[in-house]
Amino acid sequence: MIKDVAPNLVYGDVFRDKYAKIRFKMYYDLLSSFIRNNTRLLDVGCYTADMVNLMPSTVDYYGIDSDEAALEIAKHRGAEVIKLDLEHEEIPLREKFDIVVATEVLEHLKDPEKAILQIKKMVKNDGVVLISLPNECTLYHRLKVLLGKGINGTGFAPHYHLHFPTVEQDNEFVGRHFTIVQKRYWVHTGVGGKAEKVLSKIPIRFLTMLAKICPSLFARGIIFLCKPKQ
């Protein structure tokens, strides 16, 4: 837990999760060749700006989120932060960015289309966009639904996904707005419970291989590296 920034709050460190740690490395690997001195990066839905620690100090890192406490942590990590509710507010920045990132955020919004239209406005013509979206139709999810457990087991709990896309729907949504340059599939075995503990014993390399062979069944999500459509 992050205790040095907000000891009275409970915010987890994403890198405690081995699957998340691998996913963040994928983000950086896809973006690394586009990072230069004074690269301007905008992280839409940055939360606690965990990606800051992966970036060189030469990157001008801006983060947008509606969670004030999370932004306090992001600011402590070195991000220039803006408190903003993407559901109801427009991004106030005028200057465009070399890199715009939106990872694991669009599925939490009532209107992800509105957000992605804002992202399109914020990236330079020669810039890149990194988007990560979940696959809510894995074999594991299908079995859970068959057993009446629900897609993610959270029911009406707040702060969870509002949209449950498939791999095909992710591709269609992103491809409608951007030119997809590269894709990576990420894996995860769940967030708790007996089944997840058993699945977590499966080697990550094997899960990744299955995700590449049949992403609709085994990839927990997709990372898209995109460029603006000219």
Secondary-structure class of domain 14-135+161-228 per CATH = alpha beta
Fill in the DSSP letter of residue 226: E
The bridge status of strand 123-134 relative to strand 221-228 is antiparallel
The C-alpha atoms of residue 137 and residue 162 are separated, in whole angstroms, by 14
The C-alpha atoms of residue 151 and residue 162 are separated, in whole angstroms, by 11
Judged by DSSP in three states, 65 sits in strand
Q: What pLDDT is attached to residue 151? A: 80
The model's pLDDT over 51-72, given as tens digits with 9 standing for 90+, comes to 998 999 999 999 999 999 999 9
Q: What is the mean pLDDT of the chain?
A: 89
pTM: 0.90
